Amino acid sequence: MQGQPYIVRKDLVLVGGGHSHVAVLKAFGMRPEPGVRLTLIARDIHTPYSGMLPGYIAGHYDFDEAHVDLRPLAHFAGCRLYHDEMIGLDLKNNRVLCRGRPEVPYDVLSIDIGSTPDEAGIPGAAKYSLPVKPVDRFLIGWNAIEHRVRDATRSFRIAVVGGGAGGVELTLSLQHRIATSCATAPVQFHLFSEAPQILPTHHERVRRKFARILSERNVSVHLAHRVHEITAEHLLATHSGSNLVFPYDALIWATNAAAPGWITRTGLAATPGGFIEVDDCLQSVSHPGVFAAGDIATMRNHLRAKSGVMAVRQGPVLAANLRHASRGETLSAFFPQRRFLALISTGDRRAVASRGPWTLEGALVWRWKDRIDRRWMQRYRDLPPLNGMNAGTVVPGHRNDGVAIREISELAMRCGGCGSKIGSTVLTRVLARIPIISRADILIGMRDADDAAVVEVPAGQVMVHTVDFFRAIVDDPYLFGNIAANHSLGDIYAMGAQPQSALAIASVPFGSEAKIEQTLYELMAGAAVSLEESGTALVGGHTSEGAELAFGLSVNGLAERSRLLRKSGMRPGDRLILGKALGTGTLFAADMRHQAKGRWIDAALESMLQSNRTAADCLLRHGAHACTDITGFGLLGHLMEMTRPSQVDVEVELDSLPVLEGAIESLTRGIFSSLQPENIRLRRAIRNLEATATHACYPLLFDPQTAGGLLASIPEANAAACLADLHQLGYIQSAIIGQVLEPSDTAAPVTLIL
């Protein structure tokens, strides 16, 4: 995370990673707006590009070719990325309500969340059909259907409901994928359209072409069939006054677009279909400062069909208007075309071009479409270097240089003579909003006005103390607070203790009182998740302002003296068990360089958020002799802290090391954490260094971890059962990585096994 060289004056919040918002992020990355802080709330980190999705389904593109990775794009824009889902709006207080995190305040808001297929209240549709949106869930569902097709021993019937361009294109893509797969049983496709023709918004010439193509592919087309009910095995439809029953094995729902129901409950002006109604400037007709684009929006004065093309073309105007709105300037109008070129793929590497009565078909059209799509994706994949700039940095020649210079002057005037403390009023309001655990052994704590906390130590127990504090590695204060607290608790669990109380240490970036309060609240609310889960009482702390977000905890815990785990108890014959996968250091170094895929970072975050509490209990039950948690010194550094006081040697099997997705690829590119060179100095502890240093997992020995797993020395007889229990408890990547040996005469106690 880079420091923040500006005062936060406005919060611009983007909800959804649709095509328009992708353009907004690129625009703000190319020309940051001083004083404007961007936040992106996205349910999916990898957003599919509609133009390439049919080709991806058909098998012509891989996942990364057909999806925009929002994480590096957000970093490029200096935008905070919150991986969550919007579930509502508080328009009175300018708050976005999210499913899994605190509400997010905004000054200017833009919504680009796409749409869902319209099930029109048809009984059974939601339960038994697979909707094409959201796309990530459709792809998971289709993968399951594909497995069923491959295992089928009889004819398999796939029904697709929706005869528009999307439904036809999807049907042909799925049909091509199945035709080129290893299916042994015949597969039948049935396409149902309520309209009397397919592609009703296109010219008759285009419809005839696709009718022929569908016939050539043996797709049964059922026109003027109104589906009125879905059961577990049958589709019920009405045609010419008759009720018909069609059996199916899998049913896909690809009808017209629909909006999520919560939009109408927010108070935003909406169409009868529930879409956000916007004016020519893409701003809500009822709430200035709220913008919408893409499928979720309907322009009051320019009714057009929902399409990815429209969302792409709205992007530049939306970016300009969000900039204008944050400055208080006049907005620009967007005038959509009445007709635009549509390039519709036919599943194989062919496509049909459609614009009014003009149409063209063939492999050349596919190559044309492919070139256009790849060029669009390249704009958001090959990002210019940041050159050390972040959002709000002073850009020479920018029209707002005066504003930026004034902000830097304000920063310089923050003397720090008060300890850079955050005001008591802000602090009091924040503490009133977060849950504080009460414990009988906390005699004086957070709710008291004394100068220090007082805790009671029960007779026969010992107190364990630890402290951790570090700068933010993610730009979401709530997520960072959760991770930092989890990281800080790791030392307590590694000692076999139970956490009792904690003191918080927080440094919050400069800003207005309201911005500081919200950031501090999100930070503390995230930390409270880990503290509440562990039963730890927050009894006090210290806050300050600084150039960047940083947080940590001083934690104490209690343990029975006889159950205290140390690093020095390793015994020859013990097996080494590692509780979590390695790789957070290199992955977040790659993330800062825009070279980590979003799904890699998501998996790393999931690992970092997993508490070591139940793992520690499991290790104790299975008689652990020694334990530590893997953090900044890396696996080898912490292993050395165990072997030296234990006076033993160890063998580590490189092939057995659990590794986070993407870590090896990142290391292979030469991307290392800033602490890696310091950790590499410990390589002298490796006995057979020359023979093993070329192994792909070798650099992982030195990779510093955040909220890493526990490393324990377990009696050989208990190791297999302990590992099985860890897997059952959810530590699915835990592994036996080596064994403890008798000490040797050499000064290098570690032997690596290939």
Nearest 10 degrees: Cα torsion 684, 690, 693, 694: 170
Distance CA 50, CA 377 (A): 11
Task: Write down the pLDDT at residue 356.
Answer: 87
List, for residues 57-108, the tens digit of each pLDDT value: 999 999 999 999 999 999 999 999 999 999 999 999 999 999 999 999 999 9
- pLDDT-derived band at 424 (thresholds 50, 70, 90) equals low
Distance CA 611, CA 588 (A): 20
**Phi–psi pair at 166, nearest 5 degrees:** -65, -45
List, for residues 686-711, the tens digit of each pLDDT value: 999 888 999 999 999 999 999 999 99
- pLDDT-derived band at 422 (thresholds 50, 70, 90) equals low
pLDDT at 406 over 50: no
Distance CA 117, CA 142 (A): 16
Across the chain, what does the average pLDDT equal?
89
Specify which residues 37 forms β-bridges with: 11
List, for residues 551-576, the tens digit of each pLDDT value: 999 999 999 888 889 999 999 999 99
More confident residue, 417 or 147: 147
pTM: 0.87
- pLDDT-derived band at 440 (thresholds 50, 70, 90) equals confident
More confident residue, 88 or 394: 88
More confident residue, 118 or 539: 539
**Phi–psi pair at 498, nearest 5 degrees:** -110, 125
Question: What average pLDDT score do residues 659-680 get?
Answer: 94
- pLDDT-derived band at 244 (thresholds 50, 70, 90) equals very high
User: Which one of the listed residues 98, 281, 415, 418 is annotated catalytic?
Assistant: 418
List, for residues 221-242, the tens digit of each pLDDT value: 999 999 999 999 999 999 988 9
pLDDT at 621 over 60: yes
- Eight-state DSSP code of residue 698: G
Residue 650 near residue 741 (C-beta atoms within 8 A): yes
pLDDT at 392 over 70: no
Q: Of the candidates 750, 753, 714, 716, which has an alpha carbon nearest to the alpha carbon of residue 579?
A: 714
Task: Write down the pLDDT at residue 449.
Answer: 67
Question: What average pLDDT score do residues 25-40 get?
Answer: 94
Task: Write down the pLDDT at residue 639.
Answer: 95
453 Cβ contact partners less than 8 Å away, ≥ 6 residues apart: 442, 444, 445, 446, 501, 503, 539, 540
- pLDDT-derived band at 394 (thresholds 50, 70, 90) equals very low
Q: Which runs of consecutive H residues, i.e. helices, occur in 83-219? A: 125-128, 135-151, 165-179, 204-216
Residue with tokens 């095509």: 19
Q: All domains of the chain, ordered by start, with CATH? A: 10-115+259-340+361-381 (3.50.50.60), 125-257 (3.50.50.60), 424-562 (3.30.1330.10), 566-753 (3.90.650.10)
Residue 595 near residue 656 (C-beta atoms within 8 A): no
Residues across the chain = 754
Residue 521 near residue 102 (C-beta atoms within 8 A): yes
Parallel, antiparallel or unpaired: strands 750-753 and 649-653: parallel
- pLDDT-derived band at 450 (thresholds 50, 70, 90) equals low
Distance CA 106, CA 335 (A): 27
Task: Write down the pLDDT at residue 227.
Answer: 93
Q: Is 564 helix (H, G, I), strand (E, B) or coil?
A: coil
pLDDT at 2 over 70: no
Residue 473 near residue 585 (C-beta atoms within 8 A): no
Listed range (343-357, 450-464, 653-667) with the worst mean pLDDT: 450-464
| Angle, CA 635 vertex, CA 630 and CA 641 arms, to 5° | 80
Task: Write down the pLDDT at residue 417.
Answer: 47
List, for residues 272-300, the tens digit of each pLDDT value: 888 999 999 999 999 999 999 988 999 99
Parallel, antiparallel or unpaired: strands 95-98 and 257-258: unpaired
Task: Write down the pLDDT at residue 405.
Answer: 42
More confident residue, 729 or 429: 729
**Phi–psi pair at 120, nearest 5 degrees:** 50, 30
pLDDT at 539 over 70: yes
Task: Write down the pLDDT at residue 421.
Answer: 58
Listed range (421-425, 465-469, 629-633) with the worst mean pLDDT: 421-425
| Angle, CA 278 vertex, CA 274 and CA 282 arms, to 5° | 135
Task: Write down the pLDDT at residue 386.
Answer: 57
Phi-psi region of 358 (alpha: psi -120 to 50; beta: other; left: phi over 0): beta
Residue 751 near residue 649 (C-beta atoms within 8 A): yes
| Angle, CA 734 vertex, CA 473 and CA 574 arms, to 5° | 120
Amino acid at 546: G
Percent of the chain clearing pLDDT 70 (strictly above): 93
pLDDT at 395 over 70: no
For residue 418, indicate whether it is catalytic.
Answer: yes
Residue 6 near residue 407 (C-beta atoms within 8 A): yes
Distance CA 42, CA 402 (A): 33
DSSP letter for each residue of 290-326: EEE-GGGEEETT------HHHHHHHHHHHHHHHHHHH
Q: Of the candidates 524, 512, 514, which has an alpha carbon nearest to the alpha carbon of residue 479?
A: 524
Question: What average pLDDT score do residues 45-52 get?
Answer: 92
Percent of the chain clearing pLDDT 90 (strictly above): 70
Q: How many CB atoms lie within 10 A of CB 487?
A: 26
Parallel, antiparallel or unpaired: strands 550-560 and 498-509: antiparallel
Amino acid at 33: E
Task: Write down the pLDDT at residue 115.
Answer: 78
Task: Write down the pLDDT at residue 350.
Answer: 95
Q: Is the peptide bond before 658 cis (omega within 30 degrees of 0)?
A: no
pLDDT at 307 over 80: no
Helix (H) or strand (E) holding 650: strand 649-653
Listed range (223-232, 233-242, 386-395, 517-526) with the worst mean pLDDT: 386-395
DSSP letter for each residue of 601-621: HHHHHHHHHS-SHHHHHHHHH
pLDDT at 437 over 90: no
Task: Write down the pLDDT at residue 509.
Answer: 85
